[in-house]
Amino acid sequence: MTTIRHNGVRRQRTADRRKKGSESDAHDFTAVVSGIRGEVRFKAPLRDFTSFRIGGPADVLVVPADVDDLCSLVRQARTAKVPIFVLGGTNLLVRDRGIRGVVVSLSKLSAIQDEPHGVVYAEGGIGMPTLMRHAISRSLAGLEWAAGIPGTVAGCVVMNAGTRLGEMRDAVKAVRMVDPLGHIVDCPASAIQFSYRRARLPRGIVVGVWLQLKSASRERIQTVVKEYLRYRKDTQPLTLPNAGCVFKNPEHEVSGRLIEAAGLKGARIGDAQVSEKHANFIVNLGRARASDVIALIKKVGRTVEEQAGITLELELKIVGQP
Ligand code: EPU
């Protein structure tokens, strides 16, 4: 009897705490998004915002109207001690329980400005395909490597996205950021440490980038882009939801080759499958859960390690509530 009451009391207290917690969270979120001019959605499913079409909900999803709106959001979130996560790159897997706190989409930051001497300023929410079309229309070369990359400009800066034709660091002249205090700061490329699929930036959110491009023949740029798009279409599973390459290439090796050699092409857990076309891609056949993808990643890593003695390092970023 006593035990039951004790358990009952404990359970009640826990329930009260949980209720209090969620009420205070709700209160904090209201304060965090107060006066925000952009879109605000509570409990927004993130699967609609990821190229993998996988992911649980964000407590709050905010699409700031402009950079000033984002600055206000950053200040208010800081005051309320609520974390902010910025969606951007497509090399992303959001866990099934979603992301706590505020998730930001920069999709309304979509201006492009031409500056003298081949410099283009692109706001962070622009998709790489849009930016590339703009560069081609101005006969500016330097982004051909990105043909077929669906991520945002900011996402590509943050992970120094690249292909065998080049990478983001080749073109970045400077970056505009919103710092953790909610101020706009500009950061020259010399203050950023770029390495393979990585950029060490000051803390903050990338909201724009100045790119140094080069004048070139439009036909020539178009030819390179077309050829490269054809190569990707022939070798990568572009028609199924995916998040790009799952693993980085180890030094002097290619992950796709190692995974294929380990006999894993087509390996499947739930609706997550190692692509039949390119073994370093995992595709979502329909209703894949993040937990399926994670289990498959573990299986691939383990098998390659056993068979080739090489530890693969993730390129894909896994985020959200474990
Ligand atoms: N290969 C296999 N089996 C496979 C896949 C590839 O044997 O299943 C072999 C190919 O036959 C080829 C070699 O591996 O001889 C290289 O393949 P690929 O040209 O596809 O290049 P990758 O190294 O696998 C890299 C980037 C891709 C980028 C392509 C094309 C990394 C981790 N990946 O792939 O980037 O699109 O080059 O430039 O660096 C990404 O980062 O998300 C991404 C997809």
Q: Tell me, in angstroms, the distance from the centre of ligand 1 to residue 21's CA.
A: 46
Q: Is 119 exposed, middle or buried (0-12, 13-18, 19+ CB in 10 A)?
A: middle
Structural domain contains residue 83: yes
| Domain containing residue 309: CATH number | 3.90.78.10
CA 297 – CA 280 distance, rounded (Å): 10
Flag whether pLDDT at 98 surpasses 70. Answer: yes
Same domain, 261 and 313: yes
- Domain boundaries, position 32: 28-105
Q: How many CB atoms lie within 10 A of CB 185?
A: 12
The full DSSP string for 199-218 is EE--SSEEEEEEEE-EE--H
Same domain, 244 and 299: yes
Structural domain contains residue 225: no
CA 154 – CA 161 distance, rounded (Å): 10
Both tokens assigned to 216: 């070139």
Across residues 12-41, what is the average pLDDT?
67
CA 93 – CA 297 distance, rounded (Å): 11
Pocket test for ligand 1, best of 93, 240, 257 (most atoms within 8 A of CB): 257
Both tokens assigned to 223: 């030819």
Res 27: pLDDT: 52
Q: Name which residue sits closest to atom 28 of ligand 1, judged by CA.
A: 163
Res 264: pLDDT: 98
Q: Tell me, in angstroms, the distance from the centre of ligand 1 to residue 128's CA.
A: 19
> Is the minimum distance from the CB of 51 to ligand 1 under 6 angstroms?
no
Same domain, 202 and 278: no
109-144 per-position pLDDT tens digit: 999 999 999 999 999 999 999 999 999 999 999 999
How many structural domains is the chain composed of?
Answer: 3
Flag whether pLDDT at 2 surpasses 90. Answer: no
Res 88: pLDDT: 81
Domain end position, chosen among 55, 87, 105: 105
How does the average pLDDT of the chain come out, rounded? 91
245-285 per-position pLDDT tens digit: 999 999 999 999 999 999 999 999 999 999 999 999 999 99
Res 26: pLDDT: 52
> Is the minimum distance from the CB of 249 to ligand 1 under 6 angstroms?
yes
